[in-house]
Amino acid sequence: MDFRNEKWFDEKEYPFKSNYFNIDGHRMHYIDEGQGEVLLFIHGTPTWSFLYRNMIKELSGEYRCIAVDHIGFGFSDKPDGYDYRPEKLAENLELFINGLSLDGFNLIVHDFGGPIGLSYAIKYPEKIKRQIVFNTWMWETASDPGVRKINNIATKWIGRFLFLNMNFSPKVLLKKSFSDSSKITSKIHAYYKNVFRNKSERHATLGMAKSLYGSSDWYAALWNNRHLISGKKTLFIWGMKDVFFKKEFLEKWKNEWSDFSVLELECGHFPQEESPGRTTAAILGFLSK
């Protein structure tokens, strides 16, 4: 599913060659740029590999940068009726990583990409060299009143209408996640909205919204095994003005990790968009140590 011929698409923003990996008879899109030590980028919702474009343009000069689009997102197929729970997307990621025979790589995660990507690290800790963690979580959510409120909307007709008919996740929630609205220009916003062209292609965003609460037991199981990866060198990059993933989340990570550094940024949920320069510089510094 290629959008390069659409009027809103500018090759200069996303100048990468497309690659595809077959999963369940569906095409999962990914980009693979540069040579050397591997950096694997995992996105959440409602984003795709486009989120990491600025970093990849810089980092691919020294590293092999691989960024996936989960099934249901970006350039990947978006089948109706697919299992869009993060558990399933984590299974897909495992097939992808093992299919490309990746080993000794650096894992970069954000949002739902946190539990999705770190679940692989927990299962194969010996394959992960270092971890770079943006605003995310990996613990039970069922006890969170805010999550229960979201679930109450997402699982009813109003949630289905908002996410499928109104494209609510990229149109509204994504924009609300920025602390500096000037960073989400109409041109950039188009890359997040327009990859979900119609109702039939928006089931992944609804599925993710439902799984924020519905997959709580899976997140809890991951957290119970955090000791398998909490000693690995980790860089936390955190947007401190995130209205969803607050600074208390960062403190929870720090309390459990033993070998880490932190970059706190005065931005919202997407440091990759609001502060790409500082973010990339921090990653280069971290990797070169």
- Domain ranges for the chain, please list them: 19-288
- CATH architecture observed for domain 19-288: 3-Layer(aba) Sandwich (3.40)
Are 49 and 70 in contact, with CB atoms under 8 Å apart? no
Are 114 and 136 in contact, with CB atoms under 8 Å apart? yes
Range 147-172 average pLDDT? 96
Which structure tokens are listed for 263?
A: 């970059």
Closest among 123, 191, 205, 107 to 161, alpha carbons compared: 205
Question: What residues contact residue 62 under an 8 Å CB cut-off, 6+ apart?
Answer: 34, 36, 284
Report the pLDDT value the prediction gives residue 38, as an integer from 0 to 100. 98
Q: pLDDT tier at 2 (50, 70, 90 boundaries)? A: confident
Are 196 and 171 in contact, with CB atoms under 8 Å apart? no
Q: Which residues pair with 209 in a beta bridge?
A: none
Report the pLDDT value the prediction gives residue 192, as an integer from 0 to 100. 98
pLDDT at position 25 over 80: yes
Which letter does DSSP use for residue 71 in this model?
Answer: T
Torsion on CA atoms 186, 279, 172, 116, rounded to nearest 10:
130
Report the pLDDT value the prediction gives residue 289, as an integer from 0 to 100. 84
What distance in Å separates the CA atoms of residue 281 and residue 59, rounded to the nearest whole number? 9
Which structure tokens are listed for 272?
A: 């990759």
Average pLDDT, the chain: 97
Q: What is the pTM of this model?
A: 0.97
Core vs surface per residue 168-190: b (16+ CB within 10 A) or e: bbbbebbeebbbeeeebeeeebb
Report the pLDDT value the prediction gives residue 153, as an integer from 0 to 100. 93
3-state SS, residue 114: helix
Q: Which residues pair with 69 in a beta bridge?
A: none
pLDDT tens per residue across span 93-111: 999 999 999 999 999 999 9
Which structure tokens are listed for 4?
A: 């390069």
Residue 278: HSE in the Cβ half-sphere, 13 Å Cα cutoff: 15
Other residues' Cβ atoms within 10 Å of the Cβ of residue 242: 22
